[in-house]
Amino acid sequence: MGFKSINLSEKLSKFSEHWAPKIIAQMNDYHFKAVKFQGEFVWHSHEDTDEVFIVLDGEMSIAFRDGSVELKPLRLI
Amino acid sequence: MGFKSINLSEKLSKFSEHWAPKIIAQMNDYHFKAVKFQGEFVWHSHEDTDEVFIVLDGEMSIAFRDGSVELKPLRLI
């Protein structure tokens, strides 16, 4: 097994288009993707898996049938 | 399936002891843990899985048989 350090700022500086996720790392059979977006995405669901979002800049709202969550950037106090 | 917003700053403010990882979220069968530490940890390996570290503050060095990686906080430029 290998090891790798991922520079997230560098990865993000390499693209500017929206809604085009880039695979930047892999952990076992999971991908880490970096994505930039603005506006709404078509409402959809993943019945078979969880999904995690870590917001780096801006704000994100995810609507569910029974509520919504607002996500803000990961920042230390 | 449920959904949850995790406030990382809040989670980190709730404990101060070192080397005591706290499970703060779960994605499928993976745990997300928050941990504070200083100094060295006993050298060990996980033969059967990858492991991901996201550094929020400070710096971290991980030594492997064939090299080491230095990790710094996740920050946008």
Interval B27-53: pLDDT, tens:
999 999 999 999 999 999 888 999 999
- Say if the Cβ atoms of B9 and A77 lie within 8 Å: yes
What is the per-residue pLDDT across A17-64, written as a single tens digit (0 to 9) for each? Answer: 999 999 999 999 999 999 999 999 999 988 899 999 999 899 999 999
Instruction: Calculate how close chain B gets to A61, using CA atoms only, in Å.
Output: 10
ipTM of the complex: 0.83
The answer to whether B9 faces chain A, any CB pair under 8 Å, is yes
pLDDT band, residue A4 (cuts 50/70/90) = confident
- Furthest C-alpha separation in chain A: 42
pLDDT band, residue A74 (cuts 50/70/90) = confident
pLDDT band, residue A77 (cuts 50/70/90) = very low
C-alpha A70: how far from its chain's center? 14
Measured in residues, chain A has a length of 77
Per the CB < 8 A criterion, the answer to whether A66 and A48 are in contact is no
The closest CB to that of B76, out of A25, A56, A64, belongs to A56
The answer to whether B53 faces chain A, any CB pair under 8 Å, is no
Q: How far apart are CA A60 and CA A63, in angstroms?
A: 10
pLDDT band, residue B77 (cuts 50/70/90) = very low
Mean pLDDT of A62-76: 87
Q: How far apart are CA A70 and CA B55, in angstroms?
A: 23
Per the CB < 8 A criterion, the answer to whether B16 and B36 are in contact is yes
Question: Which residues from A are below 8 Å from B49, CB to CB?
Answer: 28
Q: How far apart are CA B52 and CA B74, in angstroms?
A: 13
